Chains A and B, each alone.
Chain A
Amino acid sequence: MTTTRIAETAPTAPPAPHLGAGDRLRLWWSALPRPYQWGIGVPFIALLAALPILRPPILTTQGTDFGGVLAQFGMYALLAIGLNVVVGQAGLLDLGYVGFYAIGAYTVGLLTSPDSPWNQTDTWLSRHWAWVFALPIAIAVTAVSGLILGTPTLRLRGDYLAIVTLGFGEIVRLLADNLQNITGGGRGLSGIAFPLVGQTPTRTKGVFSAGNTHLPLNFGTWWYWVSLALIIVVLLFVGNLERSRVGRAWVAIREDEDAAEIMGVPTFKFKLWAFLIGASIGGLSGVLYAGQVQFVSPPTFNVINSMLFLCAVIVGGQGNKLGVILGAFIIVYLPNFFLGRSDLFGIPIDGNAIADYKYLFFGLALMTLMIFRPQGLFPARQKLLSYGREVYVVARRAALAAAGRLPAADEDGAR
C-alpha cells in the first residue's frame, strides 16, 4: 500500500457508519501522539493503583475488604485477558478454562504447601521466595496442560470443542477432589507459600501474608498491586501478539477457518498457540490466587466459574482486551458491592440476598445483552484490525477535511 494513494482518494471513501462512544474514544486515542498516550496512560494506571489507598466512599465495598475485592478483580482480569485470547481472538469456545486456573493454583500448592507430599520448601525452594520460584514452574505446567488438552481436541470445531473443554474443566476439579493422597482431596492444601517481604513487628510474616490486615495497606492491597503489574506485562505481551502475524492468523481463523487454511495459515498450529498462551495466563492467575488465599480446595474451581469468566469476556466485549478487563471488574465488583449493604441511595435493600443471587442476575444480564448488544459493552473494532492506527488517522483527516476544519489530506497523509 502506498501512502499517497490512500491520501488521494480518502475523501471519496464511503461515509463512516455511525460511531458509538467506544469507537469515538478509540478513534480519539488512536489519533493521539505516543507521548500524549503515555502522559494519559501512566497517571491513569497510578490512579488505579491508588484505589485501595484512596478508598473512595462511593466505590468502597462494605461487606468485604476493598483491597481484597480489588485483588480478586486483578485475578479475574488476568483470566479474562487469557480467555479472550482463546475465545475473542482465535474464536475457540473454551468452557473449561477454570481447569487451567486450577492447575496453576494447585501447582503452587503442591510445591509449597506443608500438606502436600511434594512440598519443596526448604529443600530447593527457599522459604522466602518459594512462591516466586513456583510461578514460572506453574506457568510451564499449565502451558503443557494446554498443549495436552489442545492437541487432540482442536481438531473439533464449535460446539464439539466447547463440550470437550467443559469435560476437561470437570476432570481437573474431580482429580483435585479425589487424589486424596496428593491434593488432600476436599480438605485442600493450606499454608501455601507467599513472598516473605516487608516484615515488621506488626506484620510478622510480611506484607503478603493473610495475617496482614492493617488498613489501608493490607495483604489484599499488596496482592492487587502485584496483579496490576502482571496485568500490564501480560497486556503488552498480548497486544504485541495481536499486532503480529500470529494475531492476524487468529483473526482469520476466527472469521473463516477454511479460508484461513487455504490462504496458507497453519490453522492447527495457531489454534494450539492460542490455547497454550491462554492456558498460561489462566495458570498465572491461579498462581496469584494460591499466593493470596494461601489455601486451595476443589470447590473454588467449579465449572460454574468457567461460565463466570466467559461472562466477563462476553460482557466486556470479545476480542477487546481492555473491554474484558472491565467485564472482569463488573463480574467481581458488583456482587461485592451489594454484600453487606442495607441501603442503596436511601432505598432499603437486602444486599446479601442480591449478592447471593449473582448467577441469576448475571444470567439475566447476559440474555439481555445477547438481545440488545450481542457484541458486548466494549466490542473490538469490527474492522481495520491490522492497519487500525494508520487508517484511522487518514479517515479522521478526511472527515475533518470534509467538515472544512482542515485542508485536504496531504502527500504523507497516512503517516
Chain B
Amino acid sequence: MPLLELKDLTVSYGRIEAVRGISLTVEEGELVTLIGANGAGKTTTMRAISGIRPLSRGSVWFDGRDISRMKAHERVLAGIVQAPEGRGVFPGMTVLENLEMGAYARTFKTRAEHDETLAAVYALFPRLQERRTQVGGTLSGGEQQMLAIGRALMARPRLLLLDEPSMGLAPMMIQTIFRTVTEINSTGTTILLVEQNAQQALSRSDRAYILETGEVVSTGPGKELLADPAVKQAYLGVA
C-alpha cells in the first residue's frame, strides 16, 4: 500500500481545470519528484494534497485512508506537512518562533523530545541556530528556505511536501538545499518534491512524474528520465 495515492485528482480555479485527473503514488521512504514547466499544475497538486485547495474530482489517499475531505490543519496531524512555495515564513516571528509554529499541532510527550527535535533541525541547518533570534522577514532567501523546511520538520512529518525549494536561490545555495533534501530522505522521511530544476531533482529522486498542462505525461525512475531524449530537450535545455 502506497503512503500517498492520488486517484484521478482534478482541481479547478473557476471553470479552468489546473490539474486534470492526475494519478500518482508515493511509497513509504521514497523521494518522488514532480517536474513541469510553469503552469503545469505542480503547485496546485501540492496545495490539493496539503488541503489548502479543494478537489473538484478524484481523491487523495494517505496511509490507506481517503483524506479528500479532511481539513488542512488535520492533515498536519495525520503526518502531511508542507514547506510551501515562496517559503511562507512568518515574517514577524523570529527563527525560533517560526520553528515552534511548525510544532504547533504536535504534542510533545516530554520537554526532552521537543529539544531533540529542535536539535535535529539545528544539526541539519546550523545557520538557523545562529540566526534563531533574528526575524524571519530579514533572512536571506536561502535561509528562509532552510527555515521553511526546518519548520516543516518540527512537526515530524511522515510525508514532507517541498514546493520548489530551489526557487530564486543562488547556485551554491541550491546545492546545499538539495543535499539536505537527500539527507532528510535518507533518515526515513518520505518526500514529494516539486521542482523546475530538473537536473538536480531527477538525479536525486527515486522516481519522477512529468506534468504538462495538468496531466501526467511521463513517469519512471529519476535517472531514466534524465536520460530520456524528450525530457532532455524539454526540461534540460539539451538538444
Contacts and interface: CB of A to CB of B under 8 A. Distances in A.
Interface of A: 1-2, 5-6, 9, 12-14, 245, 248-249, 251-252, 255-256, 258-267, 382-387, 391, 395
A395 B134 CA distance: 11
Interface in B96-139: 96-97, 100-102, 104-106, 115, 118, 129-135
B70 interface: no
B84 A259 contact: yes
A249 B97 contact: no
A262 B81 contact: yes
A262 B72 contact: yes
Contacts, number: 102
Contact of B97 (A6, A245, A256, A386): A386
Contacts of B59: none
A248 B99 CA distance: 12
B155 A263 contact: yes
A266 B105 CA distance: 9
A245 B100 CA distance: 11
A387 B98 CA distance: 12
B52 A384 contact: no
Contacts of A249: 104
A234 B27 CA distance: 52
B76 A256 contact: no
A12 B130 contact: yes
Given A2-B115, A264-B76, A384-B133, A248 B92 contact: no
A382 B135 contact: yes
Given A1-B96, A261-B72, 9 more contacts: A2-B115, A9-B130, A13-B134, A251-B90, A258-B88, A259-B90, A264-B104, A265-B105, A383-B94
Given A252-B104, A386-B100, A395-B133, A261 B90 contact: no
A256 B104 contact: no
A5 B96 CA distance: 13
Nearest to B94: A383
25 contacts: A1-B118, A13-B130, A13-B134, A14-B134, A249-B104, A252-B90, A255-B93, A256-B89, A258-B88, A259-B88, A259-B89, A261-B51, A261-B73, A262-B50, A262-B51, A262-B73, A262-B81, A263-B105, A263-B155, A264-B76, A264-B77, A264-B106, A383-B135, A391-B94, A391-B133
A157 to B, nearest CB: 13
B71 interface: yes
**A interface, over-half SS:** helix
A256 B101 CA distance: 12
A384 B73 CA distance: 24
Nearest to B52: A258
Nearest to B95: A383
B82 interface: yes
A209 B129 CA distance: 61
Contacts of A2: 115
A386 B94 CA distance: 9
B158 interface: no
A264 B92 contact: no
Contacts of A383: 92-94, 97, 133, 135
A259 B51 CA distance: 12
B168 interface: no
A103 B20 CA distance: 49
Contacts of B188: none
Interface in B131-168: 131-135, 151, 155
B11 to A, nearest CB: 15
Task: Please list the 10 inter-chain residue pairs (A to B) with the smallest Cβ-Cβ separation, ordered nearest first.
Answer: A264-B105, A264-B76, A259-B88, A255-B90, A383-B135, A261-B72, A266-B73, A264-B73, A262-B82, A263-B101
A263 B93 contact: no
Nearest to B114: A1
A383 B135 CA distance: 6
A13 B133 contact: yes
B91 interface: yes
